[in-house]
Amino acid sequence: MLSGLVVWFLQDLFSVLASGPLMVPEAFLLLMLYRALYRAESFPTTVWSTFAGGVVFDLRWLGFPGVTSFLTVAVLLVCRWLWLTLPVSGRTIGLTAFFFWSGQTLVSLARLILWGLPRTDIIRILLMQQGYFLPVIGIVCVFIAHLERKQDV
């Protein structure tokens, strides 16, 4: 789980440099979703790591421990459940990209609402985050497709 810790710290560093956590894509959630969907042997560790990362995020930024943990773990569990209900032939990289996008959007939207921002600021910041995060999703999904193709050979 060293990779999760490194990604969490990098996300926090970029959040500080961007003047707050609202502009930075959810790289930690992206890594945890990847581990939940593609690395089944470490799922309990992934859930606990996601919970711990959410609590630390809350203590660092929001000040109300448990909210981000609940949201991120709920997104992780729902995505994993939906993933496992699909046949193997339906588990495509496009669906992976959709899970990454929807998870990041839901968690970011909830955080923006909890910060008490006006509706116009929430929409503006969410759209800016999407602009940053969609290219990241594309790059990560190409990388995942490459890794999965190597493992299938």
Q: What is the CA radius of gyration of the chain?
A: 15
Q: Is the pLDDT of residue 60 over 70?
A: yes
Q: Is the pLDDT of residue 153 over 60?
A: no
Residue 63 has a pLDDT of: 67
Contact 71, 23 (CB under 8 A): no
| Apex 113 CA angle, 109 and 117, nearest 5 | 120
Query: How far is Cα 57 from Cα 81, in angstroms, rounded to an integer?
Result: 25
Name, in order, each residue with C-beta under 8 angstroms of 107's C-beta and a sequence gap of 6 or more.
26, 29, 68, 71, 72, 75
Residue type, 49: S
Query: 3-state class of 140 per DSSP?
Result: helix
Query: 3-state class of 20 per DSSP?
Result: coil
Tokens, residue 4? 């999760």
* pTM of the shown model: 0.84
Mean pLDDT throughout 11-18? 78
Most confident range (mean pLDDT) of 13-17, 22-26, 116-120 is: 116-120
Mean pLDDT throughout 110-135? 85
Element (H, E) at 30: helix 27-38
